[in-house]
Structure 1
Amino acid sequence: MTTTAPQTGMAFQLNDLVLSYGGKPVIDHLDLQVRPGEILVLTGPSGCGKSTVLRALAGLLRPDAGEVLAEGVPVHTTSRDRALVFQDNALLPWRTVQSNVELALKLAGTPREGRREEALRWIADVGLTGFESYLPKSLSGGMRQRVQLARGLAGAPRAVMMDEPFGALDAQTRSSMQKLLIDTWRAHPTTVVFVTHDVDEALLIGDRIAVLGRAGHPLRALHDVPTPRDSSADRSALRSELIAALDTPELI
């Protein structure tokens, strides 16, 4: 794994947060804390505002009311300390794998003379050595997501927001990417806020899981996940509880 400057996870506080998207209110008075260095999973039914919360954390969406605090400071704009990884292919199609990763390093202020070596280390970390000169169109979906992960983490952000990044992948590739994310997070500690519809993915990845509901019930449940992830701890009861929360009529 790469040996960039040590990261320290960023803490967030959402206080009485109200958010609209496309003129429609989707988050109504949400209170939620994100602990530094944890993986917090946001799940809930379609339209409950999971992705909207991510955009507010990233500084892409201003609250209608309430506040988003990062380390106690209101979030009003984007920052290189906060990265966002999407499900769809957000790579620049005219840039090679290496060039896409180097761009993130450039934006993070890495000196020109160190970018190539650092990019190559990140590319190796995500298992893409040999593909440095490939354009995104020449890569599989899973490989493109590996590049996105490398690019998202290369600038040593203190927080990474991930919007269903593995949702479009086949089961085998998705499992591989989940393991890669956990391994990379362990090697490069940062705060991760991860959106998914998949309860099993939430249980595998998360330290805590927040179940969001409709605007009238912005936070339906908040659960700690048994750790460590590679233990034999029984998560079946929590799985049933999460499924029940997602099936609650009040969410509809």
Structure 2
Amino acid sequence: MTSTLAPAVSTGMRLDLESVRISYGGTTVVHDIDLAVAAGEILVLVGKSGCGKSTLLRALAGLRLPTGGVIRADDDTVTGPSADRALVFQDDALLPWRTARANVELALRLRGVPRAERATRSGRWLDEVGLTGYADYLPRDLSGGMRQRVQLARSLAGSPRAVLMDEPFGALDSQTRTEMQRLLVDTWRAHPTTIVFVTHDLDEALLLGDRIAVLGAGSLRAVVEVPEPRTAVDRGELRDRILELL
């Protein structure tokens, strides 16, 4: 894909988790995790259902404060949500009464972008994610993959320095999911940012991640680096290693 927009930022945001513990109703679901996410990398969180992946992602977004430890975005302690950290869910979370363009404009309005400029920039971002000609469509008139493209455009339009993605392609069919994975990588290369991506699909993790953090029962079991170039043999060996960790 050839980018039509200048990169929003030159680098992403560094994220640091230091002895992070998260509890619900007296039950600890994330146990003293230490993890550093480098600026501009794609870190994938994998693990079985209920291991704390989504909880950890929401803590990075500032939607859930740690019970213990600290989370830092660059040098600032995370104490709540920020426009610099965009959260993308499996459910596209689009406002059904707003067109694709108007949904993307929401992120720009939060950034204080003037109305006239919002219209232009939202249109460009829709072009960027392959939705030329669909700006005036309502979400109900778009396929699942198209709605996820709108969500991706909305998330990136606000120029976040980190994008936190909670199984965003999990509900898509295989072909559409593959298309969205490629789109994400192409867009990330054109517009460098930090991405933390949650998935239970190891093949998806190996395709997208620079590193893969393996969680088990709320604890960090290992961080696996995915070398370049990513050959089928390398992926197979890493997949077996991660399966053993799980």
Q: Any conservation in 1 of the 2:167–2:197 contact (CA below 8 Å)?
A: yes
Give 3-state SS (helix, strand or coil) of 1:91's partner. Answer: coil
Q: Kindly provide the amino acid, as one letter, of the partner of residue 62 in structure 2.
A: G
1:224 aligns with 2:221: no
Q: 2:155 aligns with which of 144, 152, 161?
A: 152
Change beyond 3 A, Cα 1:168–1:29: same
Q: Kindly provide the amino acid, as one letter, of the partner of residue 79 in structure 1.
A: S
Q: Any conservation in 1 of the 2:8–2:192 contact (CA below 8 Å)?
A: no
Give 3-state SS (helix, strand or coil) of 1:15's partner. Answer: strand
Could you state the TM-score of these two structures normalised by the residue count of structure 2?
Answer: 0.95
Deviation for aligned residue 1:7 = 4.0
Segments of structure 1 that go 5 or more residues without pairing to the other structure are 247-252
1:70 aligns with 2:68: no
Q: Any conservation in 2 of the 1:105–1:155 contact (CA below 8 Å)?
A: yes
Q: Which residue of 1 aligns with 2:42?
A: 39
Deviation for aligned residue 1:233 = 6.6
Q: Work out the number of aligned pairs and report it.
A: 243
Q: Kindly provide the amino acid, as one letter, of the partner of residue 142 in structure 2.
A: L
Matches within 5 A, 1:78-227: 78-215=81-218, 218-227=219-228
Tell me, in whole angstroms, the C-alpha distance in 1 between the residues paired with 2:25 and 2:104: 32
Change beyond 3 A, Cα 1:119–1:23: farther
Give 3-state SS (helix, strand or coil) of 1:157's partner. Answer: coil
Q: Kindly provide the amino acid, as one letter, of the partner of residue 240 in structure 2.
A: S
Could you state the TM-score of these two structures normalised by the residue count of structure 1?
Answer: 0.93
Instruction: Report which stretch shifted further, 155-164 or 100-109.
Output: 100-109
Deviation for aligned residue 1:5 = 3.8
Q: Kindly provide the amino acid, as one letter, of the partner of residue 122 in structure 1.
A: W
Change beyond 3 A, Cα 1:129–1:22: farther
Tell me, in whole angstroms, the C-alpha distance in 1 between the residues paired with 2:42 and 2:232: 19
Q: Which residue of 2 aligns with 1:239?
A: 239
Q: Kindly provide the amino acid, as one letter, of the partner of residue 35 in structure 1.
A: A
Deviation by residue 1:177-198 (Cα, 9 ceiling, x = unmatched): 0000000000000000000000
Change beyond 3 A, Cα 1:211–1:232: closer
Deviation for aligned residue 1:221 = 1.2
Give 3-state SS (helix, strand or coil) of 1:234's partner. Answer: helix
Tell me, in whole angstroms, the C-alpha distance in 2 between the residues paired with 1:81 and 1:228: 31
Tell me, in whole angstroms, the C-alpha distance in 2 between the residues paired with 1:155 and 1:39: 19
Deviation for aligned residue 1:114 = 1.1
Q: Which residue of 2 aligns with 1:18?
A: 21
Q: Which residue of 2 aligns with 1:250?
A: none
